[in-house]
Amino acid sequence: MVALAGRTSMRRSIAPMKAQKKISGLLASITGALGQLFGKFWGDPTPPELPEPSEPPVPEEEPEVEIEDPAPKRLVESRRISDQALCVDHLALIPETYPFREGPLAMFEDVEGQISDVFRRELARLGGIKMKIVLIAHMYRFVQVGRFLNRRIDEDIAFPSEILDIIRQDRIEQTVSWQYNEILDKIDEMKQNQHSGWIYEYGKKIYLEISAYQPLRDERCFEVCLKAYLASEEACRQGTRARNLHDVSRLRHFDNILDFSGINFPATLRDIDIFEENNPSFSVNVFYPAPLKNDKEQATRKLDPLHISEYNYQREHLVDLILFTEGEEDLRDRRNINDIPDGLNTHYCLINGENGWNQIMRTWNKHHGRKYFCRHCMIPPFTKLDLLQEHIEHNCHGRNNPNAGQREIFPEKGMHIMKFKNYGTMENVPFYFVKDLEADSDPVEKNIVNEKTIKLQKQKPNSYGYTLIQMDGKLAKEVVRRTLNSIAESWESMQRDLEEIIKPKLRNPEKIIMTERDWQTHKSAIRCGAHHGCVKIKCEATEENLSEAVYCTEGLSIEEEDTFKKATKCCLCKMSLRADINDNRVRDHDHFTGKYRGPAHRRCNLLLRIKPDEIKIPLIYHGGKHYDFHHEVWELGLVSEDKIEIIADNMENYKTIIIGQIKFIDSCQFQFPSLEKVASNLCGQEKTPEQLVKCFPIMTQSIP
């Protein structure tokens, strides 16, 4: 087991600096009084009064606490100054025996959960925190001394992340991932800088700096924006410039003009409709900032409409607002944008007339003069006011549909052609069930005669049987049981198989097994993997040192090396690899057999990643659509607490049923010929038991 020793410290003020000898006694008494005051506040013992030394004393470093029974994934606090501290630092010392010490990415992935737990605990205590992660890394470089001698220089270098604030528990993992990826980018940037020469050797310490954070509360910003609009209009009529629009005390004389009755603050989009009903001379539009994707930093934004008033250009006052939401919450993804959750922080900002729109739209097109904007159709702005008025009267598609606010978004260059990208659906399922039910036909005691149907018998399941098969064709489990409670027992048995057989196998994939020839193919590939349409060129991989291959199991002769074919395409997307960047190419392999399948893009390989807790395992019935599914759905609605999702043909027949992680499908839906025709095609001319065994190898595994 690996021990991560730890301790905590707190950032506090230092005692007064050196004083003159004449007033040293007075300052000592003042320092003692302040020490007693702050000692009571932080819960720390009061430090004794000490005479002023000739030199500043060096504080003794706290001894590290050894953990008696350490776990490999823990951040431990050795001492805590006070549970009421508003600023707390956590320190984790990385021991020499830590296995991920030399890999910063693996190290952060290993302790990411513990870092999140620390932030989660402090967030629950403080209500809001500002946090920063600092990695102290040991790095070295060589400096030329003289003509033939190089001297090694070792130094501990700090790599801090950006200080981020957070007030929601569900954003902690995302924020921690953002911070440590920023640290990794700084390390890579230093390593790739040819002039620095620094090389990362291992990590020494991880600091977590945490401070209390209390965001500003402004629940009535909607009211302030409307009053600021009136103040701006009043200043415009007087021929003066509006100033201090954010000062609430200067806006109080507008209280009698606006009617906010029936509106709950903070105001939602539904409250804006109430405001327009209470104030017949106002129309209010609300926009949402949308980031633009470009090659530069995503600093530029355009506005998407959230609420477009049906009274635009019909009332005296036209007010435009921007609604900002906390974090990356996107209201456009909601079915009803009015359903803003209570815990979500929102803020309204006023677009101050045409001048405000000109500042926002200065990058929307290349026109540098005044721009005029249509709130309905969100097309590029007009250069003249009469063009906008003509557009509103005759050409605007929002005239007949007042709430049809939208913005046209054109695809980026190179992204305007639709291509298949969901390569994860091309992978065979790792496991699947094959199941069948048997039922008794019990006579109905009293024949219930309806208009069109006479009920004579009732089907009641009496037994079940299923097999669990791996993707390589091996039989993982077989169950045959006769019981009156067939549906419930079979469901519980399959759920146990899911937890005990399927998920452990998916969480522990087989390591890649590569022959030397596979290793050469991977090292020399310039295109992402499959061999369709390869370019046959001379292979230079034979000149490389193959000792780097970790999983080499068999060798190649010289003749085999000479006949080697250089892979030129990806085994998934068939697109070219960037040969100058090795990080773009990864070794794709079968997680069940470990067999190497070819070089692939990193992003393509990640699309094949299997998530054990989300994957859907097929349960195959033959003819289940018209019979077996009826028994399953009738009882599983009472047995399972998972949501039932269906794809229905009609009210009675279902193509697919999904319950939890089990997906019911009917093999007859994928089989066009009859079962008799399929069996005859498999057997061929020689219909012997030996041939039948070859046709149905899985079925014969259970035959003695």
Read off the pLDDT of residues 291-339 as tens digits, 9 standing for 90 and up: 655 544 444 566 777 788 878 777 888 888 888 776 544 554 443 445 4
Q: Name the CA radius of gyration of the chain, rounded.
A: 35
Place of tokens 């399927």: 502
Q: Do both 246 and 384 map to the same domain? A: yes
Whether the per-residue pLDDT at 52 is higher than 60: the answer is no
Distance between CA 51 and CA 57 in Å, rounded?
11
Q: At 51, is the pLDDT very low, low, confident or very high (cuts 50, 70, 90)?
A: very low
> Residue 16 has what pLDDT?
35
Element (H, E) at 204: strand 199-212
DSSP 276-331: HHH-TTEEEEEEEEEEPP-SS-TT-EEEEEEE--TTTTTSSEEEEEEEEESTT--G
Whether the per-residue pLDDT at 682 is higher than 90: the answer is no
Q: Do both 231 and 305 map to the same domain? A: yes
> Residue 293 has what pLDDT?
55
Q: Do both 108 and 5 map to the same domain? A: yes
> Residue 88 has what pLDDT?
76
CB 98 within 8 A of CB 4: yes
CA distances from 101 to 160, 479, 568, 578, 674 (A): 18, 47, 36, 30, 61
- Among the residue ranges 15-29, 205-219, 238-252, the one predicted with the least confidence is 15-29
Q: At 175, is the pLDDT very low, low, confident or very high (cuts 50, 70, 90)?
A: confident
- Among the residue ranges 186-190, 205-209, 472-476, 602-606, the one predicted with the least confidence is 602-606
Whether the per-residue pLDDT at 158 is higher than 80: the answer is yes
Arithmetic mean of pLDDT, 191-206: 82
> Residue 620 has what pLDDT?
92
> Residue 250 has what pLDDT?
63
DSSP 8-state secondary structure symbol assigned to residue 119: H
Is residue 134 in a domain? yes
Q: What is the pLDDT of residues 267-301, one digit of tens each?
A: 777 788 888 888 888 888 888 777 655 544 444 56
More confident residue, 573 or 30: 573
Is residue 53 in a domain? no
> Residue 636 has what pLDDT?
83
Q: Do both 461 and 385 map to the same domain? A: no
> Residue 543 has what pLDDT?
36
Element (H, E) at 235: helix 221-237
More confident residue, 608 or 570: 608
Place of tokens 């009859």: 674
- Among the residue ranges 67-76, 335-344, 419-428, 471-480, the one predicted with the least confidence is 67-76
**φ, ψ for residue 641 (rounded to 5)?**
-95, -5
Q: At 431, is the pLDDT very low, low, confident or very high (cuts 50, 70, 90)?
A: very high
Is residue 37 in a domain? yes
Alpha-carbon dihedral of residues 224, 229, 234, 238, nearest 10 degrees? Answer: 120
Is residue 166 in a domain? yes
Alpha-carbon dihedral of residues 374, 375, 376, 381, nearest 10 degrees? Answer: 30
CB 216 within 8 A of CB 347: no
Whether the per-residue pLDDT at 23 is higher than 60: the answer is no
Is residue 432 in a domain? yes
- Among the residue ranges 101-105, 388-392, 551-555, 620-624, the one predicted with the least confidence is 551-555
Query: How far is C-alpha 96 from the geometric centre of its chain's CA atoms?
Result: 33
Whether the per-residue pLDDT at 433 is higher than 90: the answer is yes
Q: Do both 543 and 596 map to the same domain? A: yes
Whether the per-residue pLDDT at 244 is higher than 70: the answer is no
Within a 10 A sphere around the Cβ of 329, how many other Cβ atoms?
15
**φ, ψ for residue 495 (rounded to 5)?**
-65, -35
Give helix 172-192 / helix 104-126 axis angle, nearest 10°.
140
Within a 10 A sphere around the Cβ of 102, how many other Cβ atoms?
13
> Residue 178 has what pLDDT?
86
> Residue 215 has what pLDDT?
59
Q: Do both 628 and 602 map to the same domain? A: no
The token duo for 579 is 């040969």
Q: At 482, is the pLDDT very low, low, confident or very high (cuts 50, 70, 90)?
A: very high
The token duo for 275 is 């405001």
Q: Strand pairing partners for 346?
A: 325
Q: Which segment, 274-283, 568-577, 673-682, is predicted with the most confidence on average?
A: 274-283
Q: Do both 488 and 522 map to the same domain? A: no
Within a 10 A sphere around the Cβ of 701, how many other Cβ atoms?
11
Tell me if residue 208 falls in helix, strand or coil.
strand
Which residues neighbour 437 within 8 Å (Cβ) at sequence distance 6 or greater?
A: 461, 463, 464, 486, 487, 628, 631
Q: Do both 167 and 240 map to the same domain? A: no
Is residue 160 in a domain? yes
Q: Do both 635 and 487 map to the same domain? A: yes
Is residue 658 in a domain? yes
Arithmetic mean of pLDDT, 471-484: 89
Whether the per-residue pLDDT at 549 is higher than 50: the answer is no
pTM over 0.85: no
Arithmetic mean of pLDDT, 551-561: 36
CB 498 within 8 A of CB 532: no
- Among the residue ranges 238-242, 521-525, 533-537, 616-620, the one predicted with the least confidence is 533-537
Mean pLDDT estimate for the chain = 70
Q: What is the pLDDT of residues 110-150, one digit of tens each?
A: 888 888 888 888 888 887 888 889 999 988 888 888 777 88
CB 541 within 8 A of CB 523: yes
Q: Do both 530 and 623 map to the same domain? A: no
In this structure, is the dihedral angle defined by the CA atoms of residues 641, 647, 652 and 653, taken in order, positive or negative? negative
Is residue 22 in a domain? no
What is the end-to-end Cα distance of the chain in Å, rounded?
47
> Residue 459 has what pLDDT?
87
Q: What is the pLDDT of residues 376-410, one digit of tens each?
A: 776 667 777 788 777 777 666 555 454 455 555 66
- Nearest Cα residue to 8 out of 98, 76, 107, 95: 76
**Residue 622's CATH number:** 3.30.420
Q: Do both 549 and 584 map to the same domain? A: yes
> Residue 78 has what pLDDT?
31
> Residue 422 has what pLDDT?
77
> Residue 540 has what pLDDT?
36
Q: Using H for helix, E for strand and C for coil, what is the string for 44-77?
A: CCCCCCCCCCCCCCCCCCCCCCCCCCCCCCCCCC
Q: How many domains does the chain have?
A: 5
- pLDDT above 90 covers a percentage of the chain that reads 6
Strands 129-145 and 149-160: antiparallel
Strands 317-325 and 301-307: unpaired
> Residue 363 has what pLDDT?
61
Tell me if residue 513 falls in helix, strand or coil.
strand
CB 378 within 8 A of CB 391: no
Distance between CA 411 and CA 416 in Å, rounded?
5
The token duo for 111 is 């302790």
Distance between CA 447 and CA 455 in Å, rounded?
6
Whether the per-residue pLDDT at 468 is higher than 90: the answer is yes
Arithmetic mean of pLDDT, 66-75: 33
Within a 10 A sphere around the Cβ of 22, how many other Cβ atoms?
7
Q: Do both 460 and 580 map to the same domain? A: no
Distance between CA 566 and CA 578 in Å, rounded?
15
What residue numbers bound the domain in which 562 lies? 516-607
372-403 as b/e, with b when 16 or more CB fall inside 10 Å?
A: bbbbbbbeebbeeeeebeebbeeebebbeeee
Element (H, E) at 140: strand 129-145
Tell me if residue 406 falls in helix, strand or coil.
coil
Distance between CA 455 and CA 443 in Å, rounded?
9
> Residue 318 has what pLDDT?
83
More confident residue, 298 or 367: 367
The token duo for 117 is 């737990």
Strands 596-601 and 585-589: antiparallel
Q: What's the chain's length in residues?
A: 704
